Amino acid sequence: MEERYCLSLGCPQPVSFGGFRFCPECGHLLRLRDRFIPHRMLGQGGFGRTVLATDLDRPSHPLCVIKQFLPLNGNREQALKARELFAREAKLLEQLGDHPQIPRLYAYFEQEDGPYLVQEYVAGRHLGAELAQEGAFSAAAILAVLRGILPVLAFLHNRGVIHRDVKPENIIRRAGDGTLILVDFGAGKEEVSSEVIATRVGTPQFAAPEQLMGRPVPASDLYALGVTCIHLWTGCGPAELFDAYSGQWVWRCALKDGFDPRLGAVVDRLLHGPLQLRYASAAAVLGDLMSVSVAPPCSHDGLTVSSESDDYARLVALMDGDLWQEADHLTWDLLCTAAAKVVGSYLFVADVAVIPCAIWLRLDRLWRSHSGERFGWSVRQEIFESVGRNYGQLCWQIGWRQRSAAGRSMWLSGDHLNYDRSAPRGHLPWINGFYGHEGACGEQDLMVTLGDRLIQCLKQQG
């Protein structure tokens, strides 16, 4: 059933399920401007909340993000300033137009309960979440972040705009192609003369000294990008990496992997406090990065990861974007590659032992963790054991076998599966090709073989 979210500020139960036009709790219309249908809250910040929605005015009915202004409990001056920042984001997004790494503005308007901003939805995961879930970034990954974000900053600065809040949580790796997207322009501002003191906004731990004094310049964004890099590279918070007594960043000793001196020199220059020592433009940084080449590292479980195309990062982004069918297809491609088969071909029971344990465990861990322990081979194996290894009962329990409206038993497969978090536990991954010509739902010996392989891999891991 469709999830709907009530935008009324006083609604006691904002979440409902079904095609209601009005909220069953408070009677508030469950559409915004009779165009946007809110589904679920994505997050809430200092003066607004973001809600995932559907845009009915566009032919494909794409997902979008509604940003709703929330009145502050502070004084009137603070409330007015917050409202100004909210409106400024819409103005800047309109001014910047269409850029492939900046969310597009769809609408900005005011209603009785306050202003709303609607923009493009970017499916994916921000770099802060990547750090929390996958650990410290490699040098190659840091180089990719710099090369991905610096062109966006150059675009902003060339148009007289300073972002003022560059940090991992405001950089999203888009699902599907891994492109880095810069978001949250609520703190953004057009450049002002040096005589004018700007409002102090942004995140203090990432902000440049001149920005903290109310005098941001384009190089302030470069400083914040430098702090972002050492935070991701070391896995430590900015406060842990700055020596207040010497006024220096001491991040190198916190590195867990090897150090690349050329890349380190670029990051050091991004972090200089005095403006005359720091890079003056994003283009200058990109120029120095042209001579930097970092070899692709090995991941924590021994798999080689490409700095140019990290399939596992793309898989995670797909999962976090609730693109489960695409994640299922990519998982299959990774398994085919691991078994030395042509991508998209069949795999059979004998191939279970060919695929390295590191790959089985990593993929299973990603499916479990990013689905809230709903999906994954080990999840399905637990259910298989609970029904006495009866394959027919397993298929009923995980939703691969259902009853039609006429009461007949039917098997689900491929595009007919439920590629949603609401699917029964153990429903995914499907991996149709694994069963080859052995039947639509697979055979019991596959479940036994895969279960034994997972147990063997866990024992090897210790």
Q: Tell me which residues are annotated as active site.
A: 165
Phi/psi of residue 455, each to 5°?
-65, -45
User: Checking phi first, is residue 410 left (phi over 0); if not, alpha (psi -120 to 50) or beta?
Assistant: beta
Cα(223)–Cα(310) distance, rounded to whole angstroms? 26
CA dist 130 → 137, 211, 226, 374 (Å)? 9, 27, 18, 20
**Residue listed under structure tokens 């559907």:** 54
Q: Report residue 408 as tokens.
A: 């007949």
C-alpha closest to that of 9 among 47, 63, 65: 47
Q: Report residue 413 as tokens.
A: 């497969």
CA dist 420 → 160, 401, 427 (Å)? 42, 17, 10
DSSP alpha helix (H) spans, 24-102: 76-96
C-alpha closest to that of 51 among 39, 69, 34: 39
3-state class (DSSP) for residue 168: helix
| Amino acid found at 53 | A
Cα(151)–Cα(289) distance, rounded to whole angstroms? 12
**How is the chain split among helix, strand and coil, in percent rounded to 5?**
40, 15, 45
C-alpha closest to that of 292 among 264, 268, 270: 264
C-alpha closest to that of 242 among 252, 274, 130: 252
Cβ-count burial 406-425 (b if 16+ within 10 Å, e if not): eeeeeebeeeebbbeeebbb
